[in-house]
C-alpha cells in the first residue's frame, strides 16, 4: 500500500504540490481561528452549592444544613469527593465527580438529591448553585477606586454592581462576575425601643405592617370607546418618605390617632454593618471585580472582548471613579507561553536547517527537508481543528518535542534518493529519474514507517493516564504522535516529488565521495569502531557498568509532581490571628500591600479579604489573598523576589504563604487546598482535631524545607450565647419565634422587605440602635413582647453567657476535617513529604477515631509515577512485540531493546547536570526517549539484513563496519536535528510555557546524544555477536 502511495505521488507530481499548497493556505486560516488556552481542559466536573442563613452559627449550619445535604448527595452516581464548610451565616457544599462525567448531568443529579430534603432544612435557608465555570476560569481581575474618596464606598459598590457587572455578564463566554469591597447599600429602620411601648406598638406590629406595605397590584383595564388603558395600583414604597408614612397601627392602644413608622423609628440609607468582605488596590480601599469564563472558551479572545467592553465602560463612569483593567490577566501568561513555544519552534527550525545544510552542503536538499516542518505543522493543526482540540502549552509542546524528529523521515528518504541519483549519474546505463527516486524511496520505506509506528506505540499507553496528569500530558502525547504521523505522510508523498524536481539538477551529483565534514566523521568513527571491535567485551562491560551507575544516580534524585511555573505574578496569602475583626484585618492587609509595592519588581497589588456574594472561594475575614503583578523585563529570578516578599511581610502574628495563580489552582484540583503540601486530620471531635493539628503544625514549622506553614483557622472563638429558659418563657407568655426575631433585630438587624430602585433591589433592614446594647446588661434589657402585648426584658426569660464556639467547620467525605498546609522550600517534594509522614507517625499519637492523610503534590506524584511506570512497561512490551513481528527474530528485537537503557543513561546525566530532580515530565521524557532511541538501531539493522539476504555467508566485521558507515550520515543527521530542535527549550527553561517542557527536552536531548554514540558502536558489535 505504501509503495502505491509513493508511486501515485510521483505519477501525479503537480497534483501533490497543488494539494500541499492548498493545505498550507487553508491551514494558516484554520490556525488563526483556533482556541488558545494555557492548559488543556483541567476542569474536573463539580457542583458547588452556597447556603446562606443570616447569623446562623457554624455548629448549627453544620448540623441543620450541611449534614442533611451531605447525606442526600453522598453515594450519588459519579461522586468521588465531597467537601463542605460552615461559617457564620454561610455554608458551602461541593461535590466532585469522575473526570468523564457530563457536568450538566452532574448538576441534575445534585438538584434532584437536594430537592428531596429541601423541606427538612430551616425555613429561611437560601441555596444557590454556582454557575458552571473552569478551575482555570478566573481570566481577569479589575478594580474600581475613587482617588481622594470623591465617591462614597456605597456609590462605588453600586457602580460596580449596576453598571460594570451587568455589562460584563453580557459578554459572550463570561460565566460569573463577583464583586467584593465597598459598602452595600441598605435602607435601615432604627426602631425607638422607648417610644414603642409608650404608644402600645409591638415588634410584630412593625414587621406585619412593613411586609404588608410592599404590594403593587392591578385594577384590570379602563375601557373607552376605541381603546383601553391598563390600571396599576402602586403600593410599594419608593423612598424613605414612603417608609416613614407607612401606617403601623390604626390607633395606639392609649387611644391615640393612627401611628406611622416615622413616629417610632429613624429611617436612613446606610452601609451594611455586618459585611464579611473587603478589598484593596495598591494599598487603598476599593472594589475588586473577578471575572470567570465558561468552560471551553478561548481565554485570549474573551479577554480582548472584555478589554473592549471595559474601555467603553470607562467613558461612562462618573468623574472621580477610576477603573483599572490590568490588575491580573490570565491571557498575559497564555500569550507569553504560546509566544515562547512558538519562537522555540521557529528557532529550532532555523537551527535544524543549519545542521542539514552543514551536512548536505546544498540548498536544494536542505529546502526539501525543511518543507516537511511547515507542512507537518499545518496538517497537525487541521487535525486538531477537526477534532476540536485547542492550542495550548501542551499541544504546542508535543510539536516542539517532535520538531527535530519531524525531519528524520525526510532526511533518510532524501539522503537515500540523493545517494542513488549520484550512483545513477555515474552509471554507464543511467535509469529514468522517476524510477530511481521511486526505488530509493521504497528502500527506506519500511524503516521510515516502522520507526513512526514504534514511537506511536511508546506514547499510546499514555492515553490511559488518569487524573490531572492524564489531562496535562495526554494532549502532549497526542500532538507528538499526530505530528510524527503527518511528517511520515509528507515524507512518503511530498519528499519524493520535490526530490525528483530539485535533486537531479544538483551539481554535486557529479562529484565523488562525501563532503569534508562527513568524511571527517566517518574517519573518526571507523577508527573508534575498529578499536571497540577489538575489545568488544570490555566495551560492552564498560557501557553496562555506566548504565548501572546511572540507575543508582536516578533513584538518588529528588522527586516532584510538576516543575515550578513562571507566571509573571504571585498570589500572596496572609493569615491574621483567628478572631481578628474585619477592620483590624483590613488595616493589616493595607500595610502588607504597601510593603509589597516597595519591592522594585512589583507593579500592582489587588487584595481580597473575606468573600464576595456567590463566590465559592470564600475566605475568613482574617485572611487576605493578594494578587501581585510583576513588571515586565525584571532582572531578578522568581525565587529571589519570593524571598524578598517573605522578608517584607514578616509581621508579628501573621502567617504568609506565597504561590502563583495557576499553580494554586492546580494544587486546588489535586487536594482541594491551595497549597503544595496538605496534612488532613479527620475525626469527630473538634478539640482533638485542634490539638492534633497544633502538634503537626509545630513539627512542620521546625522544618526549614517548608514555608508558609499554617493550620486551618478552625479555632474556638468567643461567643455570646442567649439561652432561653422555656419554663420562664411559658410563664410570661413569650413565643420563641417572635422573641428570636426581636433579638436578631436588636443585635444584627433583620431583613424584612426590599426597596426597588433603578432596577436593583436593596434590603430594608429592621434594627435597634446598636449603641443601646454595648454590654451584657443592656442585652438583657432588650424588650420582648408577650402574647398579651405586654413587655418583658430578655434577661427575665433567658440567660446571657459567654462561651467558646467554632469560627468555622470544614468537612470532607462526611467527616470533620482540619488541615495544616505548607509550600515547599525546594523541589525535592517527595523526600520532604515522606520525611514529614515518618515524623508524624512517630511523634503524634492519634486518639481512636482520628486519622491523618497527607495530600497534595506528593501524593499525586507517587500515584502518577506508579501509573506511568506501569504504562511505560506496557509501552516497552508493545515495542518489543512490534520489533519481533517486524524482524521475525527475538534475537534482533532484544538487540534493539538493549539500546533503551543506554538512551536513558543520557537522560539521567542530563537531569544530574540541570536540576537533580525528577518530575512527571521527566518520566514522560524517558518513555518518549525509548521510542526515539530505537529508531537509529532500526536503520542499521534494516541495512544489515538487506545485505545479509544478498549473500550466503555471515557478514564480516569489515562488512558490518562498511554498512554502518553507509548509514552513519542519516543517523547522525537525524540525531543532531532532534537534539538541536530542543536547544531553544534548553536555553530558556524557566520562560513561561517552557517550564513543563524543559525536563522533557533535557532528557531527550542528552539521551539522544548518548544513544547515538552508543548505537553506532554497540549495535554493530551486538549484531556481529548474535548474527545467524
Using alpha carbons, select from 274, 275, 157, 269 the residue that is nearest to residue 764.
269
Residues 6+ apart with CB under 8 A from 97: 44, 45, 46, 47, 78, 79, 80, 103, 106
Average pLDDT over residues 832-860: 88
**Under a CB-based contact definition with an 8 Å cutoff, are residues 397 and 998 in contact?**
no
| Rg over CA atoms, the chain | 37
pLDDT at 864 over 80: yes
Query: Do 437 and 499 touch, CB atoms closer than 8 A?
Result: yes
User: Which of 69-83, 854-868, 956-970 shows the highest mean pLDDT?
Assistant: 69-83
Helical H segments across 649-733, by residue range:
661-671, 686-701, 726-732
CA distances from 886 to 333, 449, 784 (A): 46, 11, 92
Answer yes or no: is pLDDT of 464 > 70: yes
Q: How does residue 32 score in pLDDT terms, banded at 50, 70 and 90?
A: confident
In the block, which residue shows the cell 492587609?
589
Domains 1-33+361-513 and 523-556+889-1028 are alike in CATH topology:
yes
Residue with cell 444544613: 65
- Give percent of the chain above pLDDT 90: 13
Three-class secondary structure of residue 809 per DSSP: strand
Q: Where are the domains of the chain?
A: 1-33+361-513, 44-132, 185-271+718-806, 523-556+889-1028
Strands 677-682 and 851-856: antiparallel
Contacts of 631-636 spanning 24+ positions with Cβ under 8 A:
631/600, 631/601, 631/602, 631/603, 634/601, 636/601
> Taking a C-beta distance cutoff of 8 angstroms, is the pair 180, 160 a contact?
no
For residues 159 and 174, give the distance between their C-alpha atoms in angstroms, rounded to a whole number: 19
At 901 the pLDDT is 85
State pLDDT tens for residues 411-424.
888 888 888 888 88
* Domain boundaries 523-556+889-1028, corresponding CATH code: 1.20.1640.10
Q: What is the DSSP letter of 683?
A: -
Q: Which grid coordinates belong to 909?
A: 546525566
Q: What CATH topology corresponds to 44-132? A: Alpha-Beta Plaits (3.30.70)
Homologous superfamily (CATH) for 1-33+361-513: Multidrug efflux transporter AcrB transmembrane domain (1.20.1640.10)
Residues 14-28, mean pLDDT to the nearest whole number = 91
What is the rounded average pLDDT of the residues 435-450? 83
Instruction: For residues 898 and 886, give the distance between their C-alpha atoms in angstroms, rounded to a whole number.
Output: 17
Measured CA to CA, the distance from residue 251 to residue 244 in angstroms comes to: 16
Highest mean pLDDT among 232-246, 349-363, 612-626: 232-246
Distance CA 482, CA 788 (A): 83
H or E segment at 602? Answer: strand 602-610
Q: Report the distance separating Cα 816 and Cα 324, nearest Å.
A: 41
Which pTM does this prediction carry? Answer: 0.78
Higher pLDDT, 624 or 579: 624
pLDDT digits (tens, 9 = 90+) for 475-514: 888 888 888 889 888 988 998 999 888 888 665 555 566 7
Domain 185-271+718-806: give its CATH architecture.
Answer: 2-Layer Sandwich (3.30)
pLDDT over threshold 60, residue 256 = no
pLDDT tens-place string over residues 286-331:
899 989 888 878 888 899 999 999 999 998 999 889 888 778 888 8
Confidence of residue 816 (pLDDT cuts 50, 70, 90): very high
Amino acid at each position: 500500500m505504501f509503495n502505491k502511495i509513493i508511486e501515485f505521488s510521483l505519477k501525479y507530481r503537480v497534483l501533490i504540490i497543488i494539494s500541499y499548497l492548498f493545505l498550507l493556505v487553508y491551514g494558516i486560516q484554520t490556525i488563526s481561528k483556533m482556541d488558545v488556552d494555557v492548559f488543556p481542559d483541567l476542569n474536573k466536573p463539580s457542583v458547588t452549592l452556597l447556603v446562606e442563613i443570616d447569623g446562623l452559627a457554624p455548629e448549627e449550619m453544620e448540623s441543620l444544613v450541611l449534614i442533611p445535604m451531605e447525606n442526600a448527595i453522598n453515594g450519588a452516581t459519579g461522586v468521588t469527593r465531597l467537601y463542605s464548610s460552615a461559617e457564620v451565616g454561610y455554608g458551602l457544599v461541593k461535590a466532585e465527580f469522575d473526570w468523564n462525567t457530563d457536568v450538566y448531568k452532574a448538576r441534575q443529579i445534585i438538584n434532584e438529591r437536594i430537592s428531596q430534603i429541601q423541606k427538612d432544612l430551616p425555613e429561611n435557608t437560601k441555596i444557590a448553585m454556582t454557575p458552571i465555570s473552569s478551575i482555570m476560569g478566573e481570566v481577569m481581575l479589575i478594580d474600581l477606586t475613587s482617588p481622594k474618596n470623591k465617591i462614597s464606598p456605597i456609590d462605588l459598590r453600586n457602580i460596580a454592581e449596576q453598571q460594570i457587572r451587568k455589562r460584563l455578564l453580557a459578554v459572550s463566554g463570561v460565566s460569573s462576575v463577583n464583586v467584593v469591597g465597598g459598602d452595600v447599600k441598605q435602607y435601615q429602620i432604627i426602631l425607638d425601643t422607648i417610644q414603642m411601648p409608650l404608644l402600645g406598638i409591638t415588634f410584630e406590629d412593625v414587621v406585619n405592617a412593613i411586609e404588608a406595605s410592599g404590594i403593587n397590584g392591578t385594577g384590570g383595564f379602563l375601557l373607552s370607546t376605541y381603546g383601553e388603558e391598563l390600571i396599576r395600583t402602586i403600593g410599594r414604597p419608593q423612598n424613605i418618605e414612603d417608609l416613614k408614612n407607612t401606617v403601623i397601627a390604626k390607633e395606639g392602644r392609649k387611644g391615640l390617632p393612627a401611628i406611622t413608622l416615622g413616629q417610632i423609628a429613624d429611617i436612613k440609607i446606610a452601609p451594611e454593618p455586618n459585611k464579611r468582605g473587603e478589598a484593596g488596590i495598591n494599598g487603598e480601599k476599593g472594589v475588586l471585580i473577578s471575572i470567570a469564563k465558561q468552560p471551553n472558551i478561548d481565554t485570549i479572545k474573551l479577554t480582548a472582548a472584555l478589554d473592549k467592553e471595559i474601555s467603553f465602560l470607562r467613558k461612562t463612569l462618573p468623574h472621580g471613579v477610576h477603573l483599572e483593567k490590568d490588575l491580573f490577566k490570565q491571557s498575559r501568561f497564555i500569550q507569553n507561553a504560546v509566544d515562547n513555544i512558538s519562537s522555540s519552534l521557529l528557532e529550532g527550525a532555523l537551527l535544524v536547517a543549519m545542521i542539514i545544510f552543514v551536512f548536505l552542503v546544498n540548498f536544494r536538499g536542505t529546502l526539501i527537508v525543511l518543507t516537511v516542518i511547515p507542512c507537518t505543522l499545518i496538517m497537525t493543526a487541521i487535525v486538531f481543528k477537526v477534532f476540536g482540540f485547542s492550542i495550548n502549552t501542551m499541544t504546542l509542546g508535543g510539536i516542539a518535542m517532535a520538531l527535530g524528529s519531524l525531519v528524520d523521515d525526510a532526511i533518510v528518504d532524501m539522503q537515500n534518493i540523493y545517494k542513488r541519483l549520484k550512483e545513477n549519474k555515474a552509471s554507464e546505463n543511467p535509469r529514468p529519474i522517476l524510477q530511481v527516486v521511486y526505488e530509493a524511496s521504497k528502500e527506506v520505506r519500511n524503516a521510515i514507517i516502522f520507526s513512526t509506528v514504534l514511537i506511536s506505540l511508546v506514547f499510546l499507553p499514555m492515553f490511559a493516564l488518569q487524573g490531572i496528569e492524564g489531562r496535562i500530558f495526554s494532549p502532549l502525547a497526542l500532538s507528538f504522535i499526530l505530528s510524527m504521523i503527518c511528517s511520515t505522510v509528507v515524507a512518503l508523498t511530498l519528499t519524493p516529488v520535490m526530490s525528483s524536481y530539485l535533486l537531479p539538477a544538483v551539481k554535486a551529483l557529479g562529484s565523488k565521495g562525501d563532503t569534508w565534514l562527513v568524511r571527517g566523521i566517518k574517519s573518526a568513527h571507523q577508527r573508534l569502531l575498529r578499536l571497540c571491535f577489538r575489545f568488544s567485551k570490555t566495551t560492552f562491560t564498560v557501557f553496562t557498568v555506566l548504565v548501572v551507575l546511572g540507575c543508582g544516580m536516578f533513584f538518588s534524585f529528588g522527586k516532584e509532581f510538576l516543575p515550578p511555573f513562571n507566571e509573571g505574578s504571585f498570589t500572596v496569602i496572609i493569615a491574621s490571628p483567628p478572631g481578628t475583626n474585619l477592620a483590624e484585618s483590613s488595616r493589616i492587609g493595607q500595610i502588607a500591600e504597601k510593603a509589597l509595592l516597595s519591592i522594585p519588581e512589583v507593579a500592582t497589588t489587588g487584595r481580597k479579604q473575606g468573600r464576595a456574594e456567590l463566590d465559592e472561594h470564600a475566605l475568613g475575614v482574617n485572611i487576605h489573598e493578594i494578587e501581585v503583578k510583576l513588571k515586565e523585563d525584571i532582572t531578578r529570578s522568581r525565587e529571589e523576589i519570593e524571598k524578598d516578599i517573605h522578608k517584607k511581610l514578616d509581621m508579628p502574628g501573621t502567617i504568609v504563604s506565597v504561590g502563583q495563580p495557576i499553580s494554586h489552582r492546580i494544587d486546588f484540583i489535586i487536594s482541594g487546598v491551595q497549597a503544595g503540601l496538605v496534612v488532613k486530620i479527620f475525626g469527630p471531635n473538634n478539640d482533638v482535631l485542634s490539638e492534633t493539628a497544633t502538634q503537626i503544625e509545630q513539627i512542620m514549622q521546625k522544618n526549614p524545607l517548608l514555608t508558609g506553614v499554617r493550620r486551618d483557622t478552625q479555632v474556638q472563638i468567643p461567643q455570646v450565647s442567649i439561652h432561653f429558659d422555656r419554663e420562664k418563657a411559658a410563664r410570661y407568655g413569650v413565643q420563641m419565634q417572635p422573641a428570636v426575631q426581636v433579638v436578631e433585630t436588636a443585635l444584627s438587624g433583620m431583613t424584612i422587605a426590599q426597596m426597588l430602585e433603578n432596577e436593583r433591589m436593596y434590603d430594608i433592614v429592621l434594627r435597634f440602635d446598636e449603641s443601646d446594647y454595648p454590654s451584657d446588661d443592656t442585652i438583657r434589657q432588650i424588650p420582648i413582647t408577650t402574647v398579651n402585648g405586654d413587655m418583658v426584658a430578655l434577661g427575665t426569660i433567658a440567660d446571657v453567657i459567654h462561651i467558646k464556639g467554632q469560627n468555622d467547620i470544614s468537612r470532607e467525605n462526611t467527616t470533620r476535617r482540619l488541615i495544616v498546609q505548607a509550600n515547599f522550600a525546594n523541589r525535592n517534594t517527595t523526600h520532604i513529604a515522606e520525611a514529614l509522614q515518618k515524623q508524624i507517625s512517630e511523634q503524634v499519637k492519634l486518639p481512636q477515631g482520628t486519622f491523618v492523610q497527607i495530600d497534595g503534590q506528593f501524593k499525586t506524584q507517587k500515584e502518577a509515577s506508579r501509573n506511568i511506570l506501569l504504562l511505560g512497561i506496557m509501552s516497552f512490551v508493545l515495542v518489543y512485540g512490534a520489533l519481533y513481528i517486524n524482524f521475525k527474530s527475538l534475537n534482533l528485537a532484544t538487540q534493539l531493546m538493549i539500546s533503551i537503557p543506554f538512551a536513558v543513561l543520557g537522560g539521567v546525566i542530563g537531569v544530574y547536570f540541570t536540576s537533580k530532580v525528577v518530575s512527571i515530565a521527566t518520566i514522560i521524557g524517558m518513555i518518549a526517549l525509548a521510542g526515539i532511541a530505537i529508531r537509529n538501531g532500526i536503520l542499521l539493522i534494516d541495512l544489515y539484513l538487506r545485505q545479509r539476504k544478498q549473500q550466503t555467508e555471515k557478514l564480516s566485521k569489515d562488512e558490518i563496519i562498511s554498512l554502518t558507515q553507509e548509514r552513519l550520515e542519516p543517523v547522525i543527521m537525524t540525531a543532531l536535528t532532534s537534539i538541536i530542535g530542543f536547544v531553544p527549550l534548553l536555553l530558556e527553561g524557566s520562560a513561561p510555557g517552557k517550564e513543563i517542557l524543559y525536563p522533557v527536552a533535557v532528557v531527550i536531548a542528552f539521551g539522544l546524544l548518548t544513544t547515538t554514540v552508543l548505537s553506532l558502536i554497540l549495535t554493530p558489535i551486538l549484531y556481529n555477536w548474535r548474527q545467524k
